[in-house]
A and B are shown apart, each in its own frame.
Chain A
Amino acid sequence: MNTLRTSLIGVLLLTVAACGGGGAGGGGAAPPPPPAPPPGPNAAQLREAAKLLDHTTFGANFATIDAVAREGTQAWLERQFTIPPTNHLPIVLRYGNLYGYDPTSVPPPGTYRRFAWWERTLTAPDQLRQRVAYALTQVFVVSDNVDQIFINPLGLSSYYDMLLANAFGNFRDLLFNVTMHPVMGIYLSHVNNGKSDPAANTFPDENYAREVMQLFSIGLFELNADGSQRLNANGNPIPTYDNDDIQEFAKIFTGLSYGPAQPGGPSFFGKEAPVLHVPMRMFDNFHEPGSKTLLNGTVVPNGQAPMDDINDAIDNLFNHPNVGPFIGRLLIQRLVTSNPSPAYIARVTAAFNGNATTPRGDMRAVLRAILLDPEAGAGIKLREPFLRYVALNRALTAISDDGTYPGYGYLAQFLLQQHVLSAPSVFNFYSPNFAPAGELGNNQRFAPEFQITTDSTLTGFAILMAYAIYGDSSIETPAGFTRIRLDFSQLEALAADPVALVDRIDLLLAGGSMDDATKTAIRNAIGAITNDPVGRTRLALYLATISPAAAAQG
């Protein structure tokens, strides 16, 4: 690591400082004649493809942008829907086997779930599915900041696989499978949640009951289809539930404990070693007896099977009219724009609610409505700093000598205060309703990602970019694993022509949306570096990655 640091600082000083000392204004060899324009998509088609790929993937290199521009965005989207999931758990097991762990007894190190995530994210063909699963991790939040979850990578990798499996399915199944996953059971403490014991004055745990309503399905207040709050006669918002409802739902989520480690094997209610990669199972004797009153006066009867209680409660939430606008807005914010218009939300709600041919909760219909909406091309959001880091690695086609990508992610997490499945709490890294003080807040415009955009993370992002670009470090790979490196060669081939180089970087990192001032500033900077394609390329990349234009895009 000391070597890396030295090389970063050294390269940075050599490339930037030394060249910077030379007079501005260039000189040197005359620029070569511009190459003949290649046949293929025009600039507008490339920009449209780049924007779609920014919404739907973890980032794209030029070949991918070019291919999507040729195929057409809608055709590409439909083809993505047909690609089967590439799962993460098998990668954890592969690393486990490779390094001598037997997952049936001692789980491999917790970091292996990060290896699996980076490998799939950088290489998986089902990019849309992977990207939607990532968005869902910020709705159905669980985190490795809980020790029990951190130490067993089978948990979070299987949780991610569950999101992948349901990303193009039905929201009702997604909500059910989230509820039954043992990692969620640990995170919101409904695993081993027993029934009331009047003698001991103990009651069911209310944690999951509250958050499944507040965060995972209906939110706090009744909504219209366009996401606006319904108001009562006095002009006040109408709460969707009260504490009595929470106590009733808490009774529903009792009796669940870990499933068997092996199919058909034994399992018990209580605090035995957790099994984190198979759904929880119901232990009927530990489930709260009696009837329970759900929302809108729905009563589940006394004496029915405990799993029927859970299914009835999931159905009760799933059919609440809030789910379309509440979940729809969250997914629009994660994928496209921070401030969808009411009409945009209403169109997504209509897709969620279904029609004669499409059932309620169809995720493909919801995603089509979000990604192909006329507003999708015009909105803007602050891109998640973690995703900007990931996208750099994909734009520059991170290369592995042996085809494995064991990413580590701690440096990014430390510098950016963000990493997949590492949120500080169930409330995610930021609130969907965060509006920074100043111009955006004064105009009631939401910008969730600004909540983690602090002096520290802004500087931290620049440090991370300097490591990646000058340290040639790509994803952070632990000592002893295959080295991953970024491929600068295509950009270096353009370095003699500052206009072409900056335009290409604009397409790769800003979807072709850079302001003229940004491009001019970068061109001027690299114009001062002569006869050094490597230095030009890296300075252009460094400035571009930290520019406001790359940070905030539609």
Chain B
Amino acid sequence: MNNYSRRNFLNHAALVSLGAATQMNTLGRLAHASSHGDYKAMVCILLAGGADSFNMLVPYDTSRYNDYTGFRSDLALPRNELLPLNYAGPNGEAYATHPGMGPVRTLFDQGNLAFIANVGTLADPTDKTAYQNGTVRLPLGLFSHADQIAQWQTSVPDRRISTGVAGRIGDVIAASGPAPIALNVSTAGTNLFQTGATVTNYSVDANDGVRLVPGYGDSQLFKDSLDSLLGASYSDAFRRTYRQKFRAAIDSGLTFKAALDAAPTLNTTFGTGPLSASLAQIARVISVRDALGVDRQTFFVTVGGWDHHDDVLPLQAQMLPGIANGLSEFHQAMTELGVADAVTTFTISDFGRTLTSNGKGSDHGWGGHQLVMGGAVRGNDVYGAYPSLVPDNALDVGRGRDIPTTSVDEMYAELALWFGVAPSDLDLVLPNIGRFYATQSGAPPIGFMS
């Protein structure tokens, strides 16, 4: 979308939010305040399309940087433009971030951000021989968007299932009492990640927060009529499902609006990019967590446009600063709210991309790098195993599509344990985790959370 249409969107957003703001909210009620002291939240940022993360975390020591340029050819970033990280690996490994990610470098150097290298969807621990001989279960639809973007949300790559990781965490929480409506909040609409068997997500808009049905707060006649429509019994499941969702949307909107209307104004200022707008809205929701009656929350954000078969270098240069700035602003806001240690933010993406070029960009790959941010993250480190960048190495199944060395299951297990999921419940949240991690071992799956 160009600036012309984006401006129109923003104008409409302002228009609609003004309209909503004039509605009288007579029925809003505050949910009971949470009395728990140990609030925790996870923020999942989906970089939809398959971000080329091999240009986001780049080897900087001379030997491996030379491998990188040899493999990536016209996709390699010049060494003198990279931003070196204040990090030295046990064997002299050095790393740098993309030139557009200065704030991420700062967060990393300050110990508030870490990378997980070459993480991806795995149905079983997999090596190249087993892959080539077909002797290992593989993720369904490997290298395809639809399946891989789903499997990063379900963490069950060998089946196509309709629940996601945060949804199943919500199911575990809901098993001990009713789940609060603000448990799973999305700025990206309905998503698989936050869909469970019993819980789903609440959507807020990145630009204008909570909207209400016109007239519902103003007119008793209209309110009574709509309540009557939504309280009637219907002969078909489609109409019953619609009625339930509409009823829930109205009730949740009233509750949310009442809470957000009382939100404190933050000193932190957010930029105007898509990630900043979403994270600003999430910061507002977190600021009223007590009014919403939640001590555990997950958030889901999508930033699309990463399927860079074409023009990967200029497009990354254009898009990555928005990611880095958004992350930095959000961390600042969490610090201001005093919950930096309680909120952990991480990225996911469909897949890494081919290390080789198609002459214009890169194609669908497999393992890639993700970043994790927050006060509880053991930052200033690169976890997992950064793969060799020599063609046809032991992980390369063609064109620099790397077999992941850390599974999505292990990454989520680390986050779920920190979030408070009991080791004995871990397989409810991550059905395949036993293939990668002994849940009763007492050792952390990866070690990036303190």
Flag whether A13 is at the interface (Cβ < 8 A): yes
When distances are taken between beta carbons in the complex, the residues of chain B under 8 Å from A515 are 232, 234-235, 239
The 0/1 profile, CB within 8 Å of A marked 1, for residues 232-253 of chain B is 1111111111111110111011
**Would B12 and A414 count as touching, CB distance under 8 A?**
yes
When distances are taken between beta carbons in the complex, the residues of chain B under 8 Å from A24 are 221
**Would B190 and A454 count as touching, CB distance under 8 A?**
yes
**Would A525 and B2 count as touching, CB distance under 8 A?**
no
The answer for the CA separation of A201 and B225 in the assembled complex, in Å, is 67
Q: Say which residue of A425, A528, A552 sits within 8 Å of B48 (CB atoms).
A: A425
Distance in Å: Cβ of A391 to nearest Cβ of chain B: 16
When distances are taken between beta carbons in the complex, the residues of chain A under 8 Å from B307 are 207, 425
Distance in Å: Cβ of A253 to nearest Cβ of chain B: 12
**Would B249 and A437 count as touching, CB distance under 8 A?**
no
**Would B215 and A436 count as touching, CB distance under 8 A?**
no
Distance in Å: Cβ of A192 to nearest Cβ of chain B: 7
**Would A414 and B16 count as touching, CB distance under 8 A?**
yes
Q: For chain A residues 436-458, which have a beta carbon within 8 Å of chain B?
A: 436-441, 443, 445, 447, 450-458
The answer for the CA separation of A220 and B237 in the assembled complex, in Å, is 29
The answer to whether residues A425 and B304 also contact, given A5-B19, A202-B357, A414-B13 and a CB cut-off of 8 A, is yes
Flag whether B144 is at the interface (Cβ < 8 A): yes
Q: Which has the most chain A C-beta neighbours within 10 Å: B195, B234, B356?
A: B234
Flag whether B189 is at the interface (Cβ < 8 A): yes
Flag whether A203 is at the interface (Cβ < 8 A): yes
When distances are taken between beta carbons in the complex, the residues of chain B under 8 Å from A111 are 5
**Would A524 and B228 count as touching, CB distance under 8 A?**
yes
The answer to whether residues A203 and B356 also contact, given A410-B9, A450-B241, A459-B213 and a CB cut-off of 8 A, is yes
**Would B359 and A202 count as touching, CB distance under 8 A?**
yes
The answer for the CA separation of A109 and B19 in the assembled complex, in Å, is 29
Chain A residue at smallest Cβ distance from B397 = A243
Please choose the segment from B203-211, B290-298, B431-439 that sits at the chain A interface, where 4 or more of its residues have CB less than 8 A away: B203-211
Distance in Å: Cβ of A151 to nearest Cβ of chain B: 6
The answer for the CA separation of A47 and B221 in the assembled complex, in Å, is 30
**Would B241 and A206 count as touching, CB distance under 8 A?**
no
**Would A210 and B144 count as touching, CB distance under 8 A?**
yes
The answer for the CA separation of A177 and B415 in the assembled complex, in Å, is 48
Distance in Å: Cβ of A306 to nearest Cβ of chain B: 17
The answer to whether residues A12 and B144 also contact, given A447-B238, A454-B189, A546-B246 and a CB cut-off of 8 A, is no
**Would B237 and A440 count as touching, CB distance under 8 A?**
yes
**Would B363 and A206 count as touching, CB distance under 8 A?**
yes
Please choose the segment from A15-23, A61-69, A309-317 that sits at the chain B interface, where 4 or more of its residues have CB less than 8 A away: A15-23
The answer for the CA separation of A439 and B20 in the assembled complex, in Å, is 32
Flag whether B32 is at the interface (Cβ < 8 A): no
Flag whether B364 is at the interface (Cβ < 8 A): yes
Number of interface residues of B (CB under 8 A): 96
Flag whether A194 is at the interface (Cβ < 8 A): yes
The answer for the CA separation of A410 and B212 in the assembled complex, in Å, is 19
Distance in Å: Cβ of A45 to nearest Cβ of chain B: 23
**Would A201 and B238 count as touching, CB distance under 8 A?**
no
Distance in Å: Cβ of B25 to nearest Cβ of chain A: 13
Flag whether A83 is at the interface (Cβ < 8 A): no
Distance in Å: Cβ of B109 to nearest Cβ of chain A: 34
The 0/1 profile, CB within 8 Å of B marked 1, for residues 509-530 of chain A is 0000001011001101100110
Q: For chain B residues 138-172, which have a beta carbon within 8 Å of chain A?
A: 140-147, 160, 162-163
**Would B233 and A463 count as touching, CB distance under 8 A?**
no
The answer for the CA separation of A462 and B250 in the assembled complex, in Å, is 11
When distances are taken between beta carbons in the complex, the residues of chain A under 8 Å from B239 are 515, 548-549, 551-552
The answer for the CA separation of A425 and B190 in the assembled complex, in Å, is 15
Flag whether B214 is at the interface (Cβ < 8 A): yes
When distances are taken between beta carbons in the complex, the residues of chain A under 8 Å from B140 are 220
Q: For chain A residues 158-217, which have a beta carbon within 8 Å of chain B?
A: 189, 192-194, 197, 200-207, 210, 214
A-B contact count (CB 8 A): 267
When distances are taken between beta carbons in the complex, the residues of chain B under 8 Å from A17 are 215, 218-222
Q: Say which residue of A110, A203, A463, A543 sits within 8 Å of B358 (CB atoms).
A: A203
Chain A residue at smallest Cβ distance from B308 = A189
The answer to whether residues A455 and B242 also contact, given A150-B2, A525-B225 and a CB cut-off of 8 A, is no
The answer for the CA separation of A210 and B19 in the assembled complex, in Å, is 45
**Would A548 and B162 count as touching, CB distance under 8 A?**
no
**Would A200 and B242 count as touching, CB distance under 8 A?**
no
Flag whether B33 is at the interface (Cβ < 8 A): no
Flag whether B200 is at the interface (Cβ < 8 A): yes
Chain B residue at smallest Cβ distance from A443 = B237
Distance in Å: Cβ of A529 to nearest Cβ of chain B: 8
**Would A200 and B359 count as touching, CB distance under 8 A?**
yes
When distances are taken between beta carbons in the complex, the residues of chain B under 8 Å from A243 are 142-143, 398
**Would B19 and A205 count as touching, CB distance under 8 A?**
no
Chain A residue at smallest Cβ distance from B19 = A5
The 0/1 profile, CB within 8 Å of A marked 1, for residues 100-143 of chain B is 00000000000000000000000000000000000000001111
The answer to whether residues A455 and B218 also contact, given A380-B236, A439-B237 and a CB cut-off of 8 A, is no
The answer for the CA separation of A427 and B147 in the assembled complex, in Å, is 11
**Would A435 and B162 count as touching, CB distance under 8 A?**
yes
**Would A436 and B241 count as touching, CB distance under 8 A?**
yes
When distances are taken between beta carbons in the complex, the residues of chain B under 8 Å from A524 are 225, 228
The answer to whether residues A466 and B233 also contact, given A145-B1, A414-B12 and a CB cut-off of 8 A, is no
When distances are taken between beta carbons in the complex, the residues of chain B under 8 Å from A414 are 9, 12-13, 16
Chain B residue at smallest Cβ distance from A553 = B238
Q: For chain B residues 250-267, which have a beta carbon within 8 Å of chain A?
A: 250, 252-253
Q: Say which residue of B145, B213, B220, B241 sits within 8 Å of A427 (CB atoms).
A: B145
Flag whether B317 is at the interface (Cβ < 8 A): no
Flag whether B399 is at the interface (Cβ < 8 A): yes
Chain A residue at smallest Cβ distance from B211 = A459
**Would A12 and B142 count as touching, CB distance under 8 A?**
no
Q: Which has the most chain B C-beta neighbours within 10 Å: A20, A204, A451?
A: A20
Flag whether A420 is at the interface (Cβ < 8 A): no
Distance in Å: Cβ of A472 to nearest Cβ of chain B: 14
When distances are taken between beta carbons in the complex, the residues of chain B under 8 Å from A437 are 162-163, 195-200
Flag whether B74 is at the interface (Cβ < 8 A): yes
When distances are taken between beta carbons in the complex, the residues of chain B under 8 Å from A455 are 202-204, 245, 248-249, 252-253
The 0/1 profile, CB within 8 Å of B marked 1, for residues 419-443 of chain A is 0000011110001010111111101
Distance in Å: Cβ of B353 to nearest Cβ of chain A: 11
**Would B5 and A410 count as touching, CB distance under 8 A?**
yes
**Would A9 and B22 count as touching, CB distance under 8 A?**
yes
Flag whether B385 is at the interface (Cβ < 8 A): no
The answer to whether residues A12 and B215 also contact, given A435-B162, A456-B204, A515-B239 and a CB cut-off of 8 A, is yes
The answer for the CA separation of A459 and B48 in the assembled complex, in Å, is 26
Distance in Å: Cβ of A280 to nearest Cβ of chain B: 15
**Would A452 and B238 count as touching, CB distance under 8 A?**
no
Chain B residue at smallest Cβ distance from A18 = B219
When distances are taken between beta carbons in the complex, the residues of chain B under 8 Å from A128 are none
Q: Say which residue of A246, A452, A459, A518 sits within 8 Å of B212 (CB atoms).
A: A459
CB-based closest 9 A-B pairs: A20-B221, A517-B232, A552-B238, A525-B225, A16-B219, A455-B249, A189-B309, A466-B214, A548-B239
In the complex, 8 of the A-B residue pairs with CB atoms within 8 angstroms, ordered by the A residue number, are A202-B358, A437-B200, A439-B241, A440-B238, A517-B233, A524-B225, A525-B224, A548-B234
Given contacts A214-B141, A459-B212, 16 further A-B contacts (CB under 8 A): A8-B19, A8-B214, A16-B221, A17-B219, A20-B219, A145-B305, A203-B358, A214-B144, A338-B238, A427-B145, A458-B246, A463-B16, A543-B226, A543-B229, A546-B246, A547-B229
